[in-house]
């Protein structure tokens, strides 16, 4: 960075432009952005950062300190589009001389207000304007919505839209020109936000990455409730039918049965739907022990594999969880492997996960009891109350397609949080809307703007026994090389900016993924769905030894 620009960045309010508006052509200094006039929003902080950034504990995880940061202008704002709405956002602006002319917003996780500063830092270091939002509330508990109905709308979709609209105005005022391209990337809640943007606000972004999206949000909460009830005897919240400790045993048995179906034995179940595992094979032949399941435990597992259904019609409400998702363990939480991390509230194991969604978002009853849930009429109650606001299921993203938008989805096959089949359901619903005459033509038409990558051996957003590092734009997935082959974020930029769609990606498994000297164990291609990976011969640690084929 030139000394002249550094002096300008640090100049402060003495050069502020009084009454600066988003439409004015005059370039702004960082601190002058505090006077920027925005529709139903105001700037609350505009300050240059050089070298060290202290994470704000209101929006981050632990108040961390980031050293050796590139110089940037940090802007925070508050949008209040309707009474009762309070959406806080951040915009990080790199020096003009290194700006890529891209704006890139990062998504959130769970129901938390945390902004992923790590991902904003990655975008900043790439030369992009980085954007984040607190989703319209503070905290991580669903109780944020008590007495604040507009906060549900903010969380569901309005916060991302309002934040990026404001961020574009800040960008234009600061650089004297608008961004050339706008991107969004996120996983889990971030993936849900991405799909919601494509459906509701197709003009906001040119390219979107939506990982593990959980877009069928009400029905995902049905699945958490279903799995809890399946694993407890009616009215008994004190004792699980399948203990947490048995879940990894099930996954080991599934892996032993299906690992080699793709042609190589590497500890990864490549295509769970083709796995012929029979859970009955684990039935105890005598006394119960740690390496077998009782008849009651087998029936519980079958219910979770099957997924929730409407008791009136038998209609599938949410996909069942696939083979291999039972007992995968996150590195930081090995005592709650696989399903056990979400079949009960980790902080209150005697109640289902997301119980407060039903208590406060649906029934307005703090004493609501899950054992009273009717798997017929209550499905209608929930959907009638909140689905239109909360879900992001609309397969009509024709407006996003018409303006040239590109959408990349990815999903881990061993995700124990959201069932992998839900990402496939959404992709296939979009494809079904195509007016092309043949199945192949509909697939071609859909993949001209939407592509889905199913990731073998990946848990929720990252991690797992497979090759899961392929994305510099979402958490815990930094690839070894930032190019359009190894990094889905670069692949999206190339697709949007040059028209070259990713035919496949290369994902990496590291021996020590979070260490400074991580080494590549093996690499695998990620195929555009519905293609799957097959070994064709050669070194088993090389992606070139595998091909993408139709199942």
Radius of gyration of the chain (CA): 24
Judge whether 434 counts as a catalytic residue.
no
The catalytically annotated residue of 32, 85, 163, 188 is 188
Show which of 387, 411, 434 is a domain's final residue.
Answer: 387
| 144 and 46 within one domain | yes
pLDDT-based confidence at 55, cuts 50/70/90?
A: confident
Cα–Cα distance between 29 and 35 in angstroms, integer? 11
* pLDDT at residue 463 is higher than 60: yes
The answer to the question of residue 543 being in a domain is no
Q: Mean pLDDT across the stretch 87-110? A: 98
Domain encompassing residue 259: 219-387
| 22 and 59 within one domain | yes
The answer to the question of residue 144 being in a domain is yes
| 303 and 154 within one domain | no
At 199-211, the pLDDT tens digits run 999 999 999 999 9
Show which of 387, 409, 432 is a domain's final residue.
Answer: 387
At 107-135, the pLDDT tens digits run 999 999 999 999 999 999 999 999 999 99
| 340 and 262 within one domain | yes
At residue 521, the pLDDT reads: 97
| 119 and 27 within one domain | yes
CB neighbours of residue 37 within 10 Å: 15
* pLDDT at residue 223 is higher than 90: yes
Show which of 112, 138, 172 is a domain's final residue.
Answer: 172
| 472 and 451 within one domain | yes
Position of tokens 């900016």?
497
The answer to the question of residue 247 being in a domain is yes
* Structural domain count of the chain: 3
At residue 11, the pLDDT reads: 37
| 132 and 86 within one domain | yes
What six digits make up the tokens of 331? 């590195």
pLDDT-based confidence at 328, cuts 50/70/90?
A: confident
| 373 and 415 within one domain | no
Q: Are 459 and 412 in contact (CB under 8 A)?
A: yes
CB neighbours of residue 235 within 10 Å: 7
The answer to the question of residue 546 being in a domain is no
* pLDDT at residue 355 is higher than 60: yes
DSSP string, 139-188: SSSGGGGTT-HHHHHIIIIIHHHHHHHHHHHHHHHHHSS--SEEEEEEET
Q: Are 379 and 222 in contact (CB under 8 A)?
A: yes
The answer to the question of residue 550 being in a domain is no
The answer to the question of residue 545 being in a domain is no
Q: Mean pLDDT across the stretch 80-93? A: 98
Judge whether 460 counts as a catalytic residue.
yes
| 345 and 251 within one domain | yes
| 377 and 407 within one domain | no
Contacts of residue 400, defined as CB under 8 A and 6 or more positions apart, other chains included, come to: 198, 199, 202, 407, 449
Q: State the pTM of this model.
A: 0.94
Please state, for a pLDDT cut of 90, what percent of the chain lies above it.
Answer: 88
Cα–Cα distance between 163 and 166 in angstroms, integer? 5
What six digits make up the tokens of 252? 């080991």
Least confident of 112-121, 185-194, 327-336, 490-499: 327-336
What six digits make up the tokens of 548? 């993408």
Judge whether 340 counts as a catalytic residue.
no
CATH of the domain at 517: 3.40.50
The answer to the question of residue 360 being in a domain is yes
At residue 64, the pLDDT reads: 84
| 383 and 363 within one domain | yes
Q: Which residues lie across from 205 on neighbouring strands?
A: none
Candidates 102, 75, 71, 162; CA nearest to 473 is 102
The catalytically annotated residue of 154, 415, 472, 477 is 415
CB neighbours of residue 138 within 10 Å: 15
Q: Using omega within 30 degrees of 0 as the cis cutoff, is the peptide bond preceding 530 cis?
A: yes
Q: Mean pLDDT across the stretch 293-297? A: 98
Cα–Cα distance between 546 and 526 in angstroms, integer? 10
Question: In Å, what is the CA distance from 271 to each residue of 200, 277, 408?
Answer: 33, 12, 20
| 316 and 372 within one domain | yes
CB neighbours of residue 15 within 10 Å: 12
Burial of 474 (0-12, 13-18, 19+ CB in 10 A): buried
CB neighbours of residue 45 within 10 Å: 14
Question: In Å, what is the CA distance from 129 to each residue of 102, 125, 170, 184, 197?
Answer: 6, 10, 10, 11, 19
Q: Mean pLDDT across the stretch 64-74? A: 93
Q: Mean pLDDT, the chain, as a whole number?
A: 93
The answer to the question of residue 474 being in a domain is yes
The catalytically annotated residue of 128, 460, 477, 486 is 460
Tell me the longest C-alpha to C-alpha distance in the chain. 82
Task: Using CA atoms of 507, 513, 518, 519 in order, give the dihedral in degrees to the nearest 10.
Answer: -40
């Amino acid at each position: 960075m030139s000394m002249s620009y550094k002096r300008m960045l640090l100049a402060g309010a003495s050069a502020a432009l009084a009454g600066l508006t988003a439409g004015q052509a005059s370039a702004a200094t960082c601190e002058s952005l505090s006077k920027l006039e925005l529709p139903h929003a105001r700037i609350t902080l505009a300050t240059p950062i050089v070298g060290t950034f202290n994470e704000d504990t209101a929006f981050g995880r632990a108040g961390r300190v980031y050293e050796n940061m590139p110089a940037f202008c940090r802007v925070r704002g508050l949008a209040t589009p309707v009474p009762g709405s309070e959406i806080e956002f951040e915009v990080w602006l790199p020096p003009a001389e290194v700006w890529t002319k891209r704006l890139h917003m990062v998504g959130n996780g769970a129901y938390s207000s945390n902004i992923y500063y790590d991902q904003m830092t990655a975008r900043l270091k790439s030369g992009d304007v980085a954007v984040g939002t607190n989703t319209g509330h503070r905290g991580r508990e669903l109780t944020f919505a008590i007495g604040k109905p507009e906060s549900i709308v903010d969380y569901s979709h309005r916060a991302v839209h309002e934040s990026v609209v404001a961020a574009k105005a800040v960008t234009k005022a600061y650089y004297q020109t608008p961004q050339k391209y706008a991107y969004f990337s996120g996983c889990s809640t971030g993936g849900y936000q991405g799909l919601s943007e494509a459906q509701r606000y197709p003009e906001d972004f040119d390219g979107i990455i939506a990982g593990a999206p959980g877009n069928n949000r009400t029905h995902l909460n049905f699945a958490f409730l279903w799995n809890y009830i399946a694993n407890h005897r009616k009215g008994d919240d004190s004792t699980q039918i399948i203990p947490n400790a048995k879940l990894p045993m099930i996954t080991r048995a599934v892996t032993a049965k299906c690992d080699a179906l793709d042609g190589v034995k590497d500890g990864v179940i490549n295509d769970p739907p083709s796995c012929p595992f029979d859970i009955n094979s684990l039935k105890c032949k005598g006394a119960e022990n740690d390496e077998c399941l009782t008849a009651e435990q087998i029936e519980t597992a079958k219910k979770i594999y099957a997924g929730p259904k409407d008791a009136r019609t038998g209609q599938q409400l949410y996909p069942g969880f696939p083979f291999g998702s039972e007992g995968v363990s996150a590195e930081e939480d090995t005592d709650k492997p696989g399903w056990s991390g979400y079949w009960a509230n980790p902080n209150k194991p005697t109640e289902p996960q997301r119980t407060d969604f039903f208590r406060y978002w649906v029934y307005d009853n703090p004493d609501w009891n899950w054992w009273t849930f009717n798997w017929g009429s209550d499905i209608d109650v929930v959907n009638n109350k909140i689905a239109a606001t909360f879900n992001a299921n609309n397969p009509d993203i024709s407006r996003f397609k018409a303006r040239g938008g590109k959408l990349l989805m990815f999903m881990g096959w061993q995700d124990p949080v959201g069932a992998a089949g839900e990402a496939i359901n959404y992709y296939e619903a979009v494809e079904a809307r195509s007016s092309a005459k043949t199945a192949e033509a509909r697939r071609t038409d859909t993949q001209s703007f939407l592509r889905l990558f199913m990731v073998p051996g990946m848990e929720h957003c990252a991690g797992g026994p497979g090759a899961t590092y392929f994305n510099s734009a979402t958490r815990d997935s930094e690839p070894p090389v930032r190019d359009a082959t190894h990094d889905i974020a670069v692949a999206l930029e190339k697709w949007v900016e040059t028209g070259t769609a990713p035919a496949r990606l290369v994902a990496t498994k590291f021996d020590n993924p979070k260490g400074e000297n991580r080494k590549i164990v093996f690499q695998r291609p990620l195929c555009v769905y519905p293609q799957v990976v097959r070994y064709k011969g050669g070194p088993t640690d090389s992606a070139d030894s595998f091909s993408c084929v139709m199942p």
